[in-house]
Amino acid sequence: MKFRLIVQDGIKFTEEIDYALIQTEDGQFAILDKHIPVVTSVNSSGFIKLVNNNVVSFVVVDRATVVFKQSQLDVFSLHAQIGATLEKAVAAFLRESSAQQEASKRENVDFSKQERELRENIMKAKAGHI
């Protein structure tokens, strides 16, 4: 079956797999090629284990929706990282999350500065005063 990992920026990873093991807050279940269609969610404590020809990899996700139909498993997530082991995937996920938080802080500071400058320029131009 075909596996696709889709994040905010688009398709991050595509792979042919034999089966997937989904870890949700309710427990684990496997999806094989002839599985019935299913939609489920995976919160931040869950993960997806992918198996292809005895090669195992793990996908750690942030608030994901998992959709399986017609031999295609799609995972839609805000953020996700893939690793050869669960520990490596979690470590990569944490590094990426940290970097994104830092970038968001810098962006917020930039917006605050721009807003302050805009307010000052509006006051200097006396916009709105007749």
Average pLDDT over residues 74-103: 87
CA angle, residues 36, 60, 57, in degrees to nearest 5:
75
| The pLDDT of residue 113 | 74
Measured CA to CA in angstroms, residue 84 lies from 58, 81, 88, 129 at distances of: 6, 10, 7, 64
Say what the pLDDT of residue 11 is.
Answer: 93
Check whether domain 2-125 has CATH 3.40.50.620, yes or no: no
Sign of CA dihedral 89, 91, 96, 100: positive
pLDDT digits (tens, 9 = 90+) for 38-56: 999 998 778 999 999 989 9
pLDDT per residue over 5-40, tens digit each?
Answer: 999 889 999 999 999 999 988 889 999 998 999 999
Q: Please report, to the nearest 10 degrees, the dihedral formed by the alpha carbons of residues 34, 15, 59, 74 taken in order.
A: -50
Q: Where are the domains of the chain?
A: 2-125
Q: pLDDT over 90 for what percent of the chain?
A: 55
